[in-house]
Amino acid sequence: MVSTPSSADGQRLAERDYVQGGEAQTAVKILVVGHFAVGKTTFIGSISEIEPLSTEETMTRAAESVDDLKGVKGKTTTTVAMDFGRLTISDRVVLYLFGTPGQLRFVQLWEDMARGALGALILVDPERLADSFAVIDLIEQYGLDYAIAVNHFDGNPQRAEAALREALDLLDDTPVVTCDARDEKSSAAALTTLVRFLLDRAS
């Protein structure tokens, strides 16, 4: 007969999962948000140190009437619940990344995932800036600090930061970085910018 661990043993096991080098880790919840087809799933997949959880489903003809595919090439799947990944950035801090679905009809999921989040990284397509307005409004309604990561797609010209700030009506201290969601180092740099901003705001 196999004995069942006591509640105290279970607590010790749970705690040990968050210990490296004798130091307890701090878990930080970060949202990765953005409009439909901006690259959230790709971003989390490029940087997660674990196999990312993805709820991608094949798009159907029925979705064509509600999901605007203008300016989107080769999009055959879409996130219907969330993406999840993890990134350890030091012996003391581990980031848990929650990617939201891009369609506003899933806004209830956004609200649920925003609870307990320290901040948000908002992915933006420079060719579809207007699609980001509603996303930024939601994150501000949730009271989350955020940084903007402009996902630069192949063949598209880079936009000047001043023009992006004006178009998105950003505060002067809101970080704006350019990234390639497919590239691990580029994605890591964008997240590092957000974390530094959040730490500065908390100090």
Q: Which residues pair with 96 in a beta bridge?
A: 29, 86
pLDDT, tens digit, 9 for 90 and up, residues 92-127: 889 999 998 866 666 777 788 899 999 999 999 999
Give the global pTM.
0.76
Instruction: Using the structure block, give the residue that is written with the tokens 């002067």.
Output: 172
CATH of 25-202, one of 3.40.190.10, 2.40.440.10, 3.30.465.10, 3.40.50.300: 3.40.50.300
172 burial via Cβ count (<10 Å: 0-12, 13-18, 19+): exposed
pLDDT, tens digit, 9 for 90 and up, residues 119-159: 999 999 999 999 999 999 999 999 999 999 999 877 778 88
In the chain, domain spans? 25-202
CA 148 to chain centre: 11
Instruction: Using the structure block, give the residue that is written with the tokens 């992006």.
Output: 164
Given a cut of 50, is residue 84 above it in pLDDT? Answer: yes
Distance set, CA 28 to CA 71, 87, 100, 167 (Å)? 34, 10, 16, 30
Residue partners of 186: CB distance under 8 A and separation at least 6? 179, 180
